[in-house]
Amino acid sequence: MPKTITQRSHERAFALNTHTTLRTLAATVLAGLAVTACQLPTAPAHTTTPATLAGELPALQVTPEDTGTHYDRDAWPHWTYHGDGCDTRDLILREQGHGVRVGDDCAITAGQWISAYDGTTVTDPSELDIDHIVPLAEAARSGARHWTERERERYANDPAGLVAVTATSNRAKGDQDPATWLPDRDRCGYVARWVEVKHRYGLTADPAEAAAIRGVLAHCGGGR
């Protein structure tokens, strides 16, 4: 596995079962959705652990969605090739699976995955989608209008925003935000990651989305 992926084991660090951390996180986010959006990272983000999540997830700037932005999935290059036959999808499957075995050219020959959205156990990786926590189309509507292709590629392949889930749950989600879709399990963790990804990339939240975030976090402990 390439060293950069090992150093950035985001999926473990941002595991969806982070309820103890969410007590602090909820209070932080609920304090007010009004922080100015940050700029796109110019270097790989450092590894974050659950113990530091709360301090790195401030509120989001609330503004209407940029519905005039044209979205073309092909304009967001993925999955990036990392060498040794592996692309980003392969690396996420290896990182998030249990007992994963890999053959020639990074081909996964065995393993077990638990879909983060519905809890389904999967043993055939072809049945899994690699979902963007904040969908590409949602990112486009939330402040990415002027991103370069390189910035779009970095976002589309950032392990911090990727999760292996069943194709059924991923396609039910589509490009919806928390105002219209939430997973069947660990909604607190899902919303926490949504906020973190949006903050990391300077993306905004529309009013309905912000209200949904408040609503979920209010029931996660520490909310008002």
Q: Report the domain count for the chain.
A: 1
- What are 24-76's pLDDT values in tens digits? 333 343 344 433 333 333 323 333 333 333 334 468 999 999 999 889 999 99
52 occurs within a structural domain: yes
- What are 121-179's pLDDT values in tens digits? 999 999 999 999 999 999 999 999 999 999 999 999 999 999 999 999 999 999 999 99
224 occurs within a structural domain: no
What was the pLDDT predicted at 58? 61
Residue 29: give the domain boundaries.
Answer: 3-217
Q: Does residue 119 or residue 221 have the better pLDDT?
A: 119
- What are 188-218's pLDDT values in tens digits? 999 999 999 999 999 999 999 999 999 998 8
Distances (CA, A) of 22 to 40, 48, 132, 134, 158: 25, 15, 21, 19, 23
HSE value, Cβ hemisphere, 13 Å, CA-based, for 173 = 26
Task: Over range 78-104, report the average pLDDT.
Answer: 95
Q: For residues 156 and 136, what is the distance between their CA atoms, to the nearest angstrom?
A: 7
What was the pLDDT predicted at 220? 84
Q: Which residues contact 70 (CB under 8 A, 6 or more apart)?
A: none
222 occurs within a structural domain: no
What was the pLDDT predicted at 48? 35
pTM metric for this prediction: 0.76
What was the pLDDT predicted at 59? 80
Q: For residues 218 and 153, what is the distance between their CA atoms, to the nearest angstrom?
A: 34
205 DSSP assignment? B
What was the pLDDT predicted at 221? 62
